[in-house]
Structures are given as C-alpha cells and as structure tokens.
Structure 1
Amino acid sequence: DEESAGPLAIIIIPCLLVLSTVLVVALIFYSLHKNKERVRSRTAQLYSWEMPKECVVEELEFWQTGHYGPICKGVLKTRDGASSAVVVKSLRAEAQEFVERLLFHATVCRHQNVVRMLCCQTEHLPMYVVLDACSPGNLLHFLWTLRNFSEKSVFLVAKQVAAGLDYLVSDHRLVHGDVAARNILLGPDLSARVSGLGVAFEGRGTEPAVRQRAAEVPVKWQAPERMVMQLSIDRSDWSFGILLYELITLSPPYPELEPPAVLPKLQASYRMKRPQNCGGPYDLMRYCWMWSFKDRPAFSAVIKLLESSLHLAATEAICVPEVVDVSEYNRKAGLPS
C-alpha cells in the first residue's frame, strides 16, 4: 500500500495544483470581465446624463464652498432661448470619486422634494454636475427678504422637507444630518427641495470616510451622537428640529452659545426655549431633540403630524428683521463668514 501511495500522490498533487491555478486564473478573468462590464455600464449611465450640445451654462457666480468643491449659481440656456436657474457643482476629487458622486446624484435625486440633477459635463475640464436651482433659491436668504411667511408656511415647507428626508432614509438609508435653511431650495408656491447631500451617508455608518463627513457638519446643527461619535441615526433628524427653529425665529440656533459650549449644555439637558408666539412647531422640535434617538419620531410620523396640524397653524406673518447682518448671523451660527 505504501509503495502504491507514493506514485499516486505524485500524480494527484500536481493535478490539484494545476486545477487550483486554473481556477485562480478563471476567477481573475471573470473579475476583470465584470469590472469592464461595470465600467461600460457606468460610462453609459454618465453618457445619458451628459449636457446636450445645444445647452450652455452662463452667468456663473460663486455661491459657496461645498463638501466636494466650489458651488456656483448660473443659468442653463438652450438654443431655442429657454433658460432656467441652476446650481453648478464642480467636484474637486479624483476621477473615480467624481464618477461615484455623479452616479450618486443620478440615483438618489429622484424625488420631488430632493434637489434634482439636470445634467453633467465630463468630456473636458472642469467637470461638473448641474442641479436645478429651484429659483428663487436658498430658503434662508428667501426668509430674510420675505414679509408674508407665516406659521402655516412653516408647516407647508417643513412637510415637504420631511417627505424628502423620509425618501432618503426609506429608499436609500441615507441620513442627511445638516438639515439647515441654507440647505433647502425653495421654488414657486413654497415648493421645497432638500440639498446639501455632500454630508449625507448611510445610517449608522462608522467607517473613517463617514466620520469625516459627519464632522464637517456645523456643530450647532449636529445631533449629540454626531458630536461625540460622528454617528448618525436613521430616525427623524435632530437637525430637522433645528430647521423648524430657524423657520420660526429667522435666527441661528443657540445664538447665545459659542459652538464648543453646545455639547456640554445639551448633555446637561439644555434645550432652546420656546420661541415667542410659537405653538405646535415647538412641540415637534422637542421630539426631534430627545436625547435617546429611540424616542425621536420617524419621518413618516412627522409628516402625518404636520399634515394634521396645517389647519391649526396661524396665518399671521412672522416678524422679519428689516436688515440682516449676514456676518453677525454667520458668527452666531458658527459658520464661515
């Protein structure tokens, strides 16, 4: 038996080595083939979003610095004379990351209350993505100039924002985390869309890239778990309550506190006081600011609450300052000037 086992092993072992080598090579070729298919699929997706030759972006004006690069306002014009206000985001990133962000916008931005991608430009530098500006534009700046924004208007805008956030969480497991008036685009008839998705990430993500994005949210809009662990929870957004406070007061959150003082105050059970002449919205704010995320309402519940409260909301205009000192506002908000 021992004499026959030796020659048998000499035959079997090389065969196994050859078989394993063939399998490894086959797997490598299969992986390369799948990668080629994936690249081809992505290229086709990007091509379908490429800006038509008859379109051009003009009247570019720097607006703000976003997570991935400068953001400009502009006008998208066609040869037939049609034009629309747009936001142009040039992505300051590696080519692969740029493609990922384009596909992110193409995949996620498919809801009436989320900023909409119109097209992109990838054939030459600078590469950029074109988003619907939803003119008249930024909700915060809109509030500063409007004189007939009422509590009922707050409910209408907040309901649409909650619907957009509910879509992000339910369909894509994305937590926004920076639901501020500056990140809401407002259109005709108070139509609202959520923007500022550069800091959004999958709920309860803890990898380094997620932690870095979480840390870039201004402190005064962050939930305590974001400040402590750079962790975000896929429940109603803490910063949604901050947005309600902004809409009611037209003031930045915690105006009396410097950013480093916010977390210790929250840990000591501090919450912003009820604004003057503020009814139902404040109760919802407090629900969003529950310390335990398990006690915060789901966005589906927030939407139902806002819908049922619309007929009770006051219609008197909220008092708006005649002059807004933007630099002072940014200082109190902990935002760059």
Structure 2
Amino acid sequence: MAAQAQCNGSDPVGYEEGSGPFAMIIIPSLLALSTLIVVSQIIWSFVTKRSSAQVITGSSSNVNEGEPVPLDTGVGTLRPAQEALGQWEIPTQCTLVGIEPLQMGRYGPICKGQLKQDNTSTAVVIKTLKDRSNQSEATEFVDLVLFHATVSKHENIVKMLYCQTCRTPMYLVLEASFPGNLLHFLWSLREDRCGAGDNFQVFSERSVYLVAKQIAAGLDYLHSYHRIIHGDVAARNMLIGSGLSVKVSGLDWAFKSRQMRMVSKEQEVNVPVKWQAPERIMRLPLTDRSDVWSFGILLYEMITLGSPPYPDLDPSEVLPNTLAHYRMKRPENCGAPLYDLIKYCCMWNFKDRPVYSAIIRLLDSYKYLADTKPLRSEQEMDICEYRRKAGLPQ
C-alpha cells in the first residue's frame, strides 16, 4: 500500500490534477491579451487610413504642391473625369520648354512654349490652373480639359495634345498655329507685314471662301456631333496656320454654357453686341442659327481685313437698327455672291438662315466666281479705335 501510494504521488496524472486552478487563470488571460492585440491593430489601421485621406484632401485644396492630387469624390479616389483623361496625360518623355506668358485666362496664365518629344519640337499653347486654386476651381478645370478632349477630334477644331490633371501644376496643352489669331493676321495684311512665307502673301476673296468653308465645317461638327453652340464666332477666336489651314478656337463660352445648362449674364457681356443675333440681343433662346448670324459677321471681317462690323454704328445703336432690319453696306472688294451669303446668314428670322451644310455647299459653288486679286487696305488699324467701334473692353 505504501509502495502504491508512493507510485500514485509521482504519477503525471496526479500533477495535472494538482495544476487545474493555475490553468484556469492563465488561459483566459492569454485569450484576453490576444484579443486586445487584434483590436489594437484594427484601431491603428483605421487611424492610419483616415490620416491618409486627410492628407489627400488637404493637397487637393492647394494644387501647387507638386504632388498627386486626386479630386475628391467623397471617398478619396479619382473623379471619373480624371480617369477618362488617363490616355491624355503627358508622357514622361515629353517636356515643355521655352514657356512664355501670353495673357491671363479664366483659370490661370495662358502661355506659349515648345513641346519636345522624340527629338521633335512642336509649338504649343498651354492653359494652366493658377496657384492656390481651391477644390471647386480644380474640378472645373479638369472638366474643361475633358471638354477639349471630347470635341477636338475634327481637323478644323483646335487640337488638344496632352494634359496634366493627376498632379500639380495642372495644365492643358493645345496645338499652336502660325501666324495664329485670324484677326491679327488680317490686320497684318493691311500693313503688308505678315512675314509668314510666300503662301500667306496672297489673301484674296477666294481665300475668304477657303477659310470660311473650314470654319463652317468645324462649327457644323460641334453642333451635329455634340449639340454645341459656339457662342462667340468671330475672327478673334479663329486660328490660321500654314496653307490657310484654319481651326475653330475660343471654346470657353461653349464649355461654360454646356456645363451650367444655361447662359449667364457674365458670359453674354463678354460677347460684343455687334456679333450677336437679334434673338440673342433680346435674350431669347439660342440655336445653332444664332452662330450662323455671327458667321455672316465673320465673313464681313475677313473681306474687310479685320474692320469692325457696322462701322457707321455705335454699339448702343445696333439693337434698334437691327430690329429695323438694318443691313451693312456691301464692302469694297466684296463680290455680289459673297455679299448675298453675308445677307443670307444675317436674316432677321433665324429660321430663314442657312444651316452649315448649305453654307458649305454655297461656299464651294461661289469660290470659282471669287476674285483672286490680293486684298489690301491702305488704312492701318488703330487698335484703340477698333475696340471702341467693335464694343470690346478697352
């Protein structure tokens, strides 16, 4: 019995039975500790992600930090507009050099420069978003870039080359043309100082037809494919390049009216009354035929080498005279077919004006009747006097 008792005392089973209370304390403690560790990791992960989101949102409000700036959608991701522009983001092998400011635009400085890529250099215009723009301004600028990407797929619309919207500085790169602004080109012909090569030394009535056909094709594309009214058709918003190639530019009015689904008073003030159709002056609904009226004024600008329309009227006199069916006199060097087309485009009732497809057919038919003699004007353009007569801001 004593031997049996001694053997039982050394039995491992006897040891387990004797350690039962100790196990009841240790095991729950371990479980509680592991649970605490897991909960701590979850809390730490949540705090870290929240801090990251705050950093992204903070960088979006100041787009001059040189960091990626996804525009806020409420979840800290890229907006759909930025995602759609992925294919347009400027490649790393492209560089912009020789950047010089041209003017201040709605969103920031507009500059000219050179785009270098694969040992080639291309003249470009760069629209930039100004320093310290807020979230709303950055969002609108990205929408403007997407607008250009959507509508610049026609040979007679100013072409978008690249953009940068996923990091700062944000900008839009557009192709440049030489000599460039059509109105300035027309003025240079008055002084015979175009200096753009022999192909530009002859600008005749027939040239007016060739240029006008391209502009009409670009405007027709905007309306037929995108239901866009340009809203500011004028020589100052057209670009002319080599070989009399022309592209429709100045699309800011079209972008804003499409974005807002309405035309603001501020937009209308920026369009001189001498280019506005009667229904527009009277604040009636606009149509593509409202642009056709302005196209007729553009024809007058070209045949007169950039003279202001209605030269014998002050801007304040345009509305009453337009309502009285006043017509501009036939300019010098303007053939009867071209003058008839100007009058056709400027019919008082918008329903009586031609559509763009009809305008293009008429331009094709009439160009063979046009004079090929170079257009000239002995009168130099006084810019201040022009702006006064045209009703442009001084």
Q: Corresponding residue for 2:6?
A: none
What CA deviation, in whole Å up to 9, does each residue of 1:104-130 have, x standing for no partner?
A: 011111100001101112244442211
Q: Corresponding residue for 1:287?
A: 344
2:244 to 182, 190, 194: 190
- 1:101 partner amino acid: L
- 1:39 Cα shift? 5.1
Q: 1:69 to 1:281 in 2, by over 3 A?
A: farther
Measure the CA separation in 1 of the matches of 2:256 and 2:286: 8
Q: Corresponding residue for 1:128?
A: 171
Q: Do residues 71 (structure 1) and 127 (structure 2) align?
A: no
Q: 1:143 to 1:271 in 2, by over 3 A?
A: same
For 1:1-337, list aligned pairs within 5 A.
41-78=80-117, 80-91=118-129, 94-146=137-189, 147-200=201-254, 207-209=261-263, 212-229=266-283, 231-235=285-289, 237-250=292-305, 251-279=307-335, 280-321=337-378, 323-337=380-394
Measure the CA separation in 2 of the matches of 1:228 and 1:68: 30
- 1:139 Cα shift? 1.0
Measure the CA separation in 1 of the matches of 2:184 and 2:254: 23
What CA deviation, in whole Å up to 9, does each residue of 1:80-117 have, x standing for no partner?
A: 43111212122466122112111101111110000110
Moved more, 237-246 or 222-231: 222-231
What CA deviation, in whole Å up to 9, does each residue of 1:37-78 have, x standing for no partner?
A: x95643332221111222222333333444544432222223
Alpha carbons 1:204, 1:232 under 8 Å: kept: no
Alignment length, in residue pairs? 302
Percent of counterpart pairs with the same letter? 57
Measure the CA separation in 1 of the matches of 2:390 and 2:105: 17
SS of equivalent residue, structure 2 residue 334: coil
- 2:233 partner amino acid: V
Structure 2: runs of 5+ lacking an equivalent = 1-72, 131-135, 190-200
- 2:183 partner amino acid: L
Alpha carbons 2:100, 2:111 under 8 Å: kept: yes
Q: 1:179 to 1:40 in 2, by over 3 A?
A: closer
SS of equivalent residue, structure 2 residue 158: coil
Measure the CA separation in 2 of the matches of 1:206 and 1:295: 29
What CA deviation, in whole Å up to 9, does each residue of 1:228-269 have, x standing for no partner?
A: 216321235211011100000120112233222211221121
Measure the CA separation in 2 of the matches of 1:204 and 1:85: 29
Alpha carbons 1:203, 1:234 under 8 Å: kept: no
Q: 1:202 to 1:168 in 2, by over 3 A?
A: farther
- 2:324 partner amino acid: A
TM-score normalized with structure 2 length? 0.70
Measure the CA separation in 2 of the matches of 1:281 and 1:39: 51
Q: 1:321 to 1:84 in 2, by over 3 A?
A: farther
- 1:225 partner amino acid: E
- 1:313 partner amino acid: A
- 1:320 Cα shift? 3.2
- 1:267 partner amino acid: L
- 1:308 Cα shift? 1.0
- 1:210 Cα shift? 5.0
- 1:304 partner amino acid: R
Measure the CA separation in 1 of the matches of 2:345 and 2:259: 20
- 2:297 partner amino acid: I
Alpha carbons 2:129, 2:138 under 8 Å: kept: no
What CA deviation, in whole Å up to 9, does each residue of 1:151-206 have, x standing for no partner?
A: 00000000000000000110011111211111111111101100001112699999
Task: Tell me how large the CA RMSD over aligned residues is.
Answer: 2.7
Q: 1:333 to 1:68 in 2, by over 3 A?
A: farther
Moved more, 322-331 or 272-281: 322-331
Alpha carbons 1:175, 1:202 under 8 Å: kept: no
Alpha carbons 1:219, 1:334 under 8 Å: kept: yes
Alpha carbons 2:333, 2:375 under 8 Å: kept: no
Alpha carbons 2:82, 2:142 under 8 Å: kept: no
Structure 1: runs of 5+ lacking an equivalent = 1-33
Alpha carbons 1:219, 1:227 under 8 Å: kept: yes
Measure the CA separation in 1 of the matches of 2:261 and 2:269: 12
Measure the CA separation in 2 of the matches of 1:311 and 1:75: 39
- 1:325 Cα shift? 2.5
Q: 1:172 to 1:208 in 2, by over 3 A?
A: closer
SS of equivalent residue, structure 2 residue 162: strand
